[in-house]
Amino acid sequence: MEQVVEFIGLALRYSFSLALSVGVLGAILYPILQMHLAMWRKAAGPYAGAFERSGNPSKLAGAAAIAERGIRWGMSTNQRQRVYPPVHVTVLPTGIGLQIMHPFRYGSKPLILPFSEMELASTKWALWGDPVAIRMKQLDGIDIILYREIMEWAAEQSPSIAAMMVKANPALNRPVIS
């Protein structure tokens, strides 16, 4: 009987220690996650919303960047830009849906970017080869930057995006940097 009581005491001690460790780790990681999602939350202000990926064309993009216009080199310590790795891009009937892939999406809301407020522009950002900036009317001075290959795929899914991509073609006009 003494061994059972000792075992239960050890189990309770280890369980308490594990719970305390997980709590401390969470308390350390939560502010870091909040700082990382600062630009995503800025975009989510006017454009947060739920959407259904199933039934709509969806593709996993390598990353999406949200940056103030004029930020070009992707310095990770800069609070005016962030890169969000894997992002699902969904072509909806009325716009584009962006959602950070699980498990990185905790604390972020999906974005719905309506075609009626969208403009596409060729841009330069970090070492990305010819990315496309999505410029929304309610995000003054902020670009949502995606790889050109993802936007070309989206243009195949939607005539609205295809029409906007013609304007964002760097062969037709000079890239917009600022």
pLDDT at residue 81, rounded to an integer: 82
Q: Is the pTM of this model over 0.75?
A: yes
Query: What is the per-residue pLDDT for 130?
Result: 83
Q: pLDDT at residue 99 above 80?
A: yes
- Whether residue 170 has pLDDT greater than 70: no
Quick one: what percent of the chain has pLDDT higher than 70?
A: 90
Q: Which residues contact 53 (CB under 8 A, 6 or more apart)?
A: 88, 90, 97, 99
The larger pLDDT score, comparing residue 102 to residue 117, is at 117
- Answer whether 56's CB lies under 8 Å from 50's CB: no
The answer to whether domain 38-167 has CATH 3.40.50.970 is no
* pLDDT the model gives residue 115: 95
134, pLDDT greater than 90: yes
Which residues fall within 8 angstroms of residue 56, CB to CB, at 6 or more apart?
A: 90, 91, 92, 93, 97
pLDDT band at 73 (very low <50, low <70, confident <90, very high): low
Tell me the pLDDT of the chain averaged across its residues: 86
Q: How far apart are CA 159 and CA 163, in angstroms?
A: 6
* pLDDT of the residue at 146: 94
Q: How confident is the model at residue 149 (pLDDT cuts 50, 70, 90)?
A: very high
Residues near 106 by beta carbon (within 8 Å), at least 6 away in sequence = 33
Q: What is the pLDDT of residue 172?
A: 54
What's residue 176's pLDDT? 46
